[in-house]
Amino acid sequence: MAKKSNSSAGPTQRQLRVGELIRRSLAETLARGDIHDPDLAHVSVTVGEVRATNDLRAAVVHVSPLGGVNADIVIEALNRNKYELRRQMNKSLTLKFSPELKFVYDHTFDQMDETRRLLDQDTVKQDLDIDEA
């Protein structure tokens, strides 16, 4: 009998482990500057997270250029060079299948800034002070 997948259960340990391996490999490749693209030249890219699918045949890579400047151009360049990045990744990893890569903008830093902004509001600070008393 086949296993039932529970979509609300979250990623498995295997997905998390493979995602982290892919993240490290891509971060090293981008840091070394092995991809020769004018849109990626002299741009520091942070690889925040990699989410692998259940079958590990595809992975969504959440990236952010330093400072968020020209994010759309950098994302487009990474997606344009995804086959070369995949080839470089395969040199350092031994996986049964080489996952198809898709690069998207990582909104984590934007969300952190918004959370800080909300916590700095006077009404929120007042509520926090009441809770601590």
pLDDT, tens digit only, all 133 positions of the chain? 455 555 567 888 999 999 999 999 999 998 888 888 888 888 888 898 999 999 989 999 999 988 777 889 999 999 999 999 999 999 888 888 889 999 999 877 777 777 777 777 777 777 777 655 5
Can you identify the CATH homologous superfamily of domain 10-106? K homology (KH) domain (3.30.300.20)
Distance CA 85, CA 103 (A): 11
Task: Identify the bridge partners of residue 58 per DSSP, sorted by sequence position.
Answer: 100
Task: Show me where the domains of the chain are located.
Answer: 10-106
Say what the pTM is.
0.76
